[in-house]
Structure 1
């Protein structure tokens, strides 16, 4: 169910079978502490959405490896950040072309926290232009209550923490430096703050949380929850219709 592997002649039938649904994974390339590869977010987006696509038969567009990572600063090498406006326009244009290929239900799955605002802006632009296109932005750490609890267990402003480390131990151990996990812990310093500070002012090593608490078994369980819960959302979305049948462009007559 990978869009990149399908010929143009196959896509109409594939999309028709799922009411025009497609999945767009959006990740990031950024520092993830001393113990995780900089591609962690897009690797998760790619692996998670590919498995959901397999289960639901909804085609997955190629994962976006870059995102809005400005908050990680230039203190540590590895971050490749897009401006928020760049991400907005990239996703808007991808959505436009997906629409012209027959997509009518677009699930944007985001695995990097600060992509959320630009992706919401892209959603607004897409649905304002395409009257019959439904768009959802789904943030991977908030898919369900159990997934949220696992991500936030060691910090509200978590990053490269126990949850992310466990996930990578389970699904992409090649990007984990296991010998460095035990010494990578750095606590969340953001509780009670008024302002949103960049990571260079909240973390000593790019980590927020306690990766030393991670195990591969925890990652396997968490990934299974994420696949199951995201698949359920996608399958519900395939069947969803707008509460009212009213055009975005038509004036009210009463």
Structure 2
């Protein structure tokens, strides 16, 4: 595995020289995950998922970002450390600029926190508009594939710290889970008929949406294996992809 923080600048350069031009940026979050789970869950899944998938492909693995756009969790529960959307945009845009400067032409942003998506998409738009030869993909860990998405959404549409996330942590980071509190942490999804998007303190009594009481290590292990296999397959496809048309972003139409 090519982990950037362990590599020298010569080794990074050699990687680009041999044609390995894919970089992977895992993006997590630090936020409350109910009474039964540690605040670093999102970062942990981004980190371990990308490490496992990167081990199956010749890609550059960048250090995991531990903070994200978690402002929707409100200040009701301690433990959340959130970035403003504009801050996350700037951090990822700047990171992408330097990845491109190192010679990489393909960037996967792998996101493990739902509300990171909007600022990450903004960073994607900025990067591809500025760097004509940089292709950027934004992948949400909970919807890498249809089977992964179905597992995450099985017990709630607006899920958080639910069956799927708890099962994953039981399998890959058991120290994150307080199993004695799982049975009493279930909380229903109250957003299904809402017109507006409400912060979590107005939709959940304890920071959970879903049913962690249904979680099991076995389910988590199977789900994690799916996520790793399906993400690695995306990396492999991305290594081969070229733009459908060769036009430069800066090329003007000539009638």
- TM-score class normalised by the smaller sequence: over 0.9
Question: 1:174, CA displacement in angstroms?
Answer: 1.1
Match of 2:243 in 1: 242
Q: Is 1:179 the counterpart of 2:180 in the alignment?
A: yes
Mapping of residues 56-75 of structure 1, within 5 Å: 56-75=57-76
TM-score normalised by structure 1 residue count: 0.98
User: Does the 8 Å CA contact 1:127/1:133 hold for their aligned counterparts?
Assistant: yes
Q: Is 1:204 the counterpart of 2:205 in the alignment?
A: yes
Cα 1:225–1:16 shift into 2, 3 Å = farther
Match of 2:13 in 1: 12
Distance 1:40 1:243 in 2: 37
User: Does the 8 Å CA contact 2:169/2:176 hold for their aligned counterparts?
Assistant: yes
Q: Is 1:126 the counterpart of 2:127 in the alignment?
A: yes
Deviation track 1:165-204 (CA, whole Å, cap 9, x = no partner) reads: 0000011111111111111100111111100110000000
Distance 1:109 1:49 in 2: 8
Match of 1:158 in 2: 159
Q: Is 1:36 the counterpart of 2:37 in the alignment?
A: yes
User: Does the 8 Å CA contact 1:19/1:104 hold for their aligned counterparts?
Assistant: no
User: Does the 8 Å CA contact 2:20/2:59 hold for their aligned counterparts?
Assistant: no
Give the gaps of 5 or more residues in structure 2: none
Cα 1:94–1:243 shift into 2, 3 Å = same
User: Does the 8 Å CA contact 2:86/2:119 hold for their aligned counterparts?
Assistant: yes
Distance 1:252 1:185 in 2: 57
Distance 2:178 2:190 in 1: 24
4+ residue segments displaced more than 3 Å:
15-19
Task: Give 3-state SS (helix, strand or coil) of 2:80's partner.
Answer: coil
Task: Give 3-state SS (helix, strand or coil) of 1:24's partner.
Answer: strand
How many residue pairs match? The answer is 254
User: Does the 8 Å CA contact 1:46/1:63 hold for their aligned counterparts?
Assistant: yes
Task: Give 3-state SS (helix, strand or coil) of 1:9's partner.
Answer: helix
